[in-house]
Amino acid sequence: MAGTIDKGFLREQAALHGITLDDAALERFDLVARMMLDWNTKINLTTITQPRDVVLKHFIDSMVAAPLLPEEASLIDVGTGAGYPGIPLAIVRPDIRLTLLDSLNKRLVYLKELCSALELPAGLVHARAEDAGQDKEHREGYDVAAARAVAPLPVLCEYCLPLVRRGGIFIALKGREGEIEAAEAERTAEVLGGRLSGIEKRQIYDGGEIMERRLVVFEKSAPTPPKYPRNSAKIKKQPIK
C-alpha cells in the first residue's frame, strides 16, 4: 500500500522541535495516517484530512509535548478523539505507559484496531472524564494527564487534575489563547489541588505561516477534594472561580 504522508517532511518538522524520528517511527506515523483516513469514511474522526495538515496539525502538534513527559510516566489522554495527543506521544516516547480515554465507544473501537496494528500497548477507557475522575481505578492514578480539547482551561482543569497523582502534571495543548486561559484557570487549579507551573511556547511552521501553540502545565501539589470533579453540566455552567 502506498504511503499517505511525506515522511521526509515529517522527519524535518520533528527535527525542528528536537525530536529524531527513525525509519520505524516514520512507518508507524504513516500507518496512523492511513488507518485514520480510512476509518474516517465510516466514523467521524477528524476534519483534518490533507496529508500535510495531518503531519502538522495532528502529529507535530501532539509530539511537541514529548520533552515535558517524565521518564516512564503513566499518561492518560483525556478526550482523545482520534488518538491525539496520546498516540504520537507514545510513538516518540515508547517508555511511557499510555491510557486513552473517550466517551464515544466507536472511537475506542478504532483506537483498539490502531493500537493493535501499531503493536502499541495502551489502556482504553470508555468513560466521561468527570466519571473517570470519581472512579477509584483512575482517580489520582496517573503521572500525567494531557488534553488537546477545545474546552476552556478552567473546564479542562476540573476534568483532568483529579486524574493526576500528587507530584504529577496536567498538560493542556492550546493555541495562543492558552496564555489568557491559564490566568483564568489559576484559581480553579488551586481548588483542585494544583498550581500553574509554566507555559511553554511552540511554533509550528506551515509554509509561510506560523501556528502558535502553548503548552500550559499544571503541577498536582495536593489531593483533589472529594466533591470534584462535579457533573459535566456544573463544570461547564458553573466553573470554579
In a domain, 115, yes or no: yes
Q: What is the CA radius of gyration of the chain?
A: 17
In a domain, 171, yes or no: yes
| 170 closest CA partner among 184, 23, 180, 154 | 154
> What is the overall mean pLDDT for the chain?
96
Note the pLDDT of residue 216: 98
In a domain, 77, yes or no: yes
The model's pLDDT over 30-73, given as tens digits with 9 standing for 90+, comes to 999 999 999 999 999 999 999 999 999 999 999 999 999 999 99
The model's pLDDT over 107-160, given as tens digits with 9 standing for 90+, comes to 999 999 999 999 999 999 999 999 999 999 999 999 999 999 879 999 999 999
In a domain, 2, yes or no: no
In a domain, 93, yes or no: yes
Number of structural domains found in the chain: 1
Is it the case that residue 1 has pLDDT exceeding 60? no
Q: How far apart are CA 221 and CA 166, in angstroms?
A: 5
The proportion of the chain whose per-residue pLDDT surpasses 90, expressed as a percent, equals 95
Range of the domain at 177: 7-237
In a domain, 1, yes or no: no
Q: Reduced to 3 states, what is the DSSP secondary structure of residue 1? A: coil
Q: Diameter of the chain by CA atoms?
A: 53
In a domain, 103, yes or no: yes
Q: The domain spanning residue 183 has which CATH number?
A: 3.40.50.150
| 65 closest CA partner among 35, 34, 91, 37 | 91
Could you give the dihedral angle defined by the CA atoms of residues 120, 70, 149 and 165, in that order, rounded to the nearest 10 degrees? 100
The model's pLDDT over 62-83, given as tens digits with 9 standing for 90+, comes to 999 999 999 999 999 999 999 9
In a domain, 12, yes or no: yes
Q: Are 101 and 129 in contact (CB under 8 A)?
A: yes
The model's pLDDT over 178-223, given as tens digits with 9 standing for 90+, comes to 999 999 999 999 999 999 999 999 999 988 789 999 999 999 999 9
